[in-house]
Structure formats: C-alpha cells, structure tokens
Amino acid sequence: MMLQKLKQSLHLLAPASILSQTEFGKLTGEFSLKALDVGARGGFDTLLTPIADIVEFIGFEPDEAEVKRLEADRLSKGPWASVRYLPVALGNTADSRLLFLTQSPGCSSLLPSNPYMYTRYGREELFTVVGTTEVATVMLDDAASKYSFQEASYLKIDIQGAELEVLKTGQKLLSDSIVAIRAEVEFQQIYKDQPLFRDIDTFLSEQGFHLVDFHQPVTWPLQASGASLKSPFVIGRDCLGELIHADALYFRNLDDFSDANENGISVCIKAAMIALAYGRLSYAAVLFSKKRVKEYLANAYGVDVEKAMEEAKLMMIKHNKRNRLLSLVRLILGR
C-alpha cells in the first residue's frame, strides 16, 4: 500500500489532499464539475485525483467487455463524486466504422497501425493488427446531447491517433465550457496517416487553448534488425531513445474568462480547481483573484481565497520536495 501511494505521488502533479486539507475543502458536497474521459480503458484519469471529491466523471470506452469490467470493479469507481461509463466510440461521423484490433487491446484504433514505423522500434507485440470489428461512432457534441451532459469542464482524450478527428466534432463543448484538456499526442506516425502533435496543437490554439506542459513523455529506442546484435536496446539502461508520444496538457487562455455573471464565475472556479489539480497554482490564483469570484466563494461557501492559496502553496512545496527525493531514490535504485 505504501509503495502504491509513493508511485501515485510521483504521478500526480499536486498533492492528493490539496482540496481536502485546505479552505477549498468547503466546496466538497456543494460544488462539482464534469470531466470527460475519451478512451477510459483501465479507469478514469488520475491527474484529477487531488480534486476527486468534486469531479463527476463520464467515460467513453467502445470495448463493452472493458466497460462491464469497470462497472463491476468497485475499486474502479475510485474517489470521484460520481462515475458513469458509456460503451461508445467517438469519431467524426455518426456511422459504423472499422475498429482495428491490435495484439495489445489498448492499442486498438479507428486507424490501422503502421508496420513500417512500429517495427523500427520493435513494438510488434503491441501494434500488430489481429482483426477488425465494426463499431458505431458518435460525434462529441452529439454525444453531449444524446447522453444528457450539456457542458463539461475537462476533457481527457487518448484514442490511439484519432484524437484530432474527435476534437473537431466537439467544437461547441470546446467553445462553451471546456477549460482544460489532456490529449495524447504522437510525434511519429505509429498509425497510418494519423495527425501528429503539431496538428493538434495548431487546432487547439485556434480554439483558444495554450500548451501548458507535456506529461510523461515516452521515448523508444530503434531496434536494429542485423544478426550482429544479440539483444535489443533498453531505454534508461543502455541508450537514449526517440520521442514517440506524450500527454499534452492544455488550458484555456486567461483572456477568455469573465466574472461578469454567475455562469462566468462558475467557469472561473472550475478552471481554477482543475489548475490546482495540475499543480498550476499561478494560473489558479489569477482566476481566484477576480473580484466577483473571491466574493462569491466567500459568501456562498465561506472560502477565504487568500488563506486557501497560501495553504495550497505550502502543500505544493512539500509535494515537489518529496517527489524530487523519490525520483532520486528511484534513479539510484534503477527502478
């Protein structure tokens, strides 16, 4: 259990208790935000764990067996305020599409994998196509209407190369309510004709978002096919690799926020809370410092914003120190 908590701490961008152990904890049970997880295999996006008590998650996962497994697994419900899994595939058409099934189920995609590329890195056991199946796809904005969520604040999307086509079908949500995005992006075409990071970044920039950071970038070593090499190269042990994919974290541009009305105030608070979970306290502070936002939090929930931000700041300092120490220990131990 202790090892699991340490691993979670290294993964999280902010302390898991940044909501519960600060003034912001007064929002628990009184305030909530909706988060979408497109590609929810394995459970919901853990980066929002620090604010889990106010997060209502809706997950999209076309593998019905995986959805049933998640719904039956009590642990998959996690710490969230509420959870809902939908056995639905999103795409750029309201139609039936081929889903390419790969040797590793988590690598299946609406796009065929690219043997030329994945064999260069010795990843055949992950991306080799072993079959196809038809799935009905729904566009993101249509899904919002069909499944009765007219707004959402957060979007995590990881669907193996089809991220951009789905993002383009959710422009109403992106414009009206989404304030933060976690999107898997690739730097090599592991899938045939897939958009790369530069394409997704350009699109999201046009929608009013800016790149905050890359989370957990992944590199792969090239694998020589000659018989003279007895074993493959291993990242972190014997060589450096090439950047393949990462999660790109995006926030809405600050100039787009307004506290002129109650809805605007609510959007500001939701964006600031997500920023807390991401450990981006300066972004959160800009939104919390808006005059009407501060007044609303004080009057409606009894939250002293300045006190809460100071508490969060001290917790972040401890969190970052601990994670640097843990990272050093892992490096020394080679784990």
| pLDDT tens-digit series, residues 9-22 | 668 999 999 999 99
The set of residues, in sequence order, having a beta carbon less than 8 Å from that of 230 and lying 6+ positions away, is none
Mean pLDDT is lowest, of 119-128, 131-140, 158-167, 321-330, for: 321-330
Q: What is the pLDDT of residues 123-159, one digit of tens each?
A: 999 999 999 999 999 999 999 999 998 899 999 999 9
- Over the stretch 35-72, which tens digit does the pLDDT of each residue have? 999 999 988 889 999 999 999 999 999 999 999 999 88
Could you tell me the pLDDT band of residue 255, with boundaries at 50, 70 and 90? very high
Instruction: Give residue 226's pLDDT band: very low, low, confident or very high (50, 70, 90).
Output: low
Q: How many residues appear in the chain?
A: 335
Structure tokens at 153: 């604040």
Cα–Cα dist 57/35, whole Å: 5
Distances 29 to 33, 56, 80, 271 between C-alpha atoms, Å? 11, 12, 11, 18
The better pLDDT of the pair 191, 72 is held by 191
pTM of the model: 0.93
